Chain A
Amino acid sequence: KQEVTQIPAALSVPEGENLVLNCSFTDSAIYNLQWFRQDPGKGLTSLLLIQSSQREQTSGRLNASLDKSSGRSTLYIAASQPGDSATYLCAVLSGNTPLVFGKGTRLSVIA
Chain B
Amino acid sequence: DTAVSQTPKYLVTQMGNDKSIKCEQNLGHDTMYWYKQDSKKFLKIMFSYNNKELIINETVPNRFSPKSPDKAHLNLHINSLELGDSAVYFCASSHSLTDYNEQFFGPGTRLTVL
Question: When the two chains form their complex, are residues A32 and B100 in contact, meaning their CB atoms are under 8 A apart?
Answer: yes
Query: Roughly how many angstroms separate A89 CA and B106 CA in the complex, as a whole number?
Result: 15
Residues on B with C-beta less than 8 A from A99 are 45, 103
| Dominant SS among interface residues on chain A | strand
Question: When the two chains form their complex, are residues A98 and B41 in contact, meaning their CB atoms are under 8 A apart?
Answer: no
Nearest B residue to A104 by beta-carbon distance? B41
Question: When the two chains form their complex, are residues B100 and A103 in contact, meaning their CB atoms are under 8 A apart?
Answer: no
Residues on B with C-beta less than 8 A from A96 are 56
What's the least CB distance linking B54 to chain A, in Å? 13
Residues on A with C-beta less than 8 A from B44 are 101
What string of 1s and 0s marks CB contacts (under 8 Å) between B78-114 and chain A?
0000000000001010000000111111111010000
Question: When the two chains form their complex, are residues B43 and A101 in contact, meaning their CB atoms are under 8 A apart?
Answer: yes
What's the least CB distance linking A95 to chain B, in Å? 11
Question: When the two chains form their complex, are residues A49 and B56 in contact, meaning their CB atoms are under 8 A apart?
Answer: no
Residues on A with C-beta less than 8 A from B103 are 34, 46, 91, 98-99
Question: When the two chains form their complex, are residues A34 and B45 in contact, meaning their CB atoms are under 8 A apart?
Answer: no
Query: Roughly how many angstroms separate A108 CA and B1 CA in the complex, as a whole number?
Result: 30
**Given A34-B102, A101-B42; 8 other pairs, CB 8 A cutoff:** A41-B110, A42-B107, A46-B102, A46-B105, A49-B101, A89-B43, A98-B56, A103-B40
Give residues in A with beta carbon < 8 Å to B.
Answer: 31-32, 34, 36, 41-46, 49, 51, 87, 89, 91, 93, 96-101, 103-104
Q: List 24 A-B contacts (CB under 8 A).
A: A32-B100, A34-B102, A34-B103, A36-B105, A42-B108, A43-B105, A44-B92, A44-B105, A45-B105, A46-B105, A91-B43, A91-B103, A93-B100, A97-B56, A98-B45, A98-B56, A98-B103, A99-B45, A99-B103, A100-B45, A101-B42, A101-B43, A101-B44, A103-B42
7 closest Cβ pairs, A-B complex: A31-B100, A43-B107, A44-B105, A101-B43, A49-B102, A98-B45, A43-B108
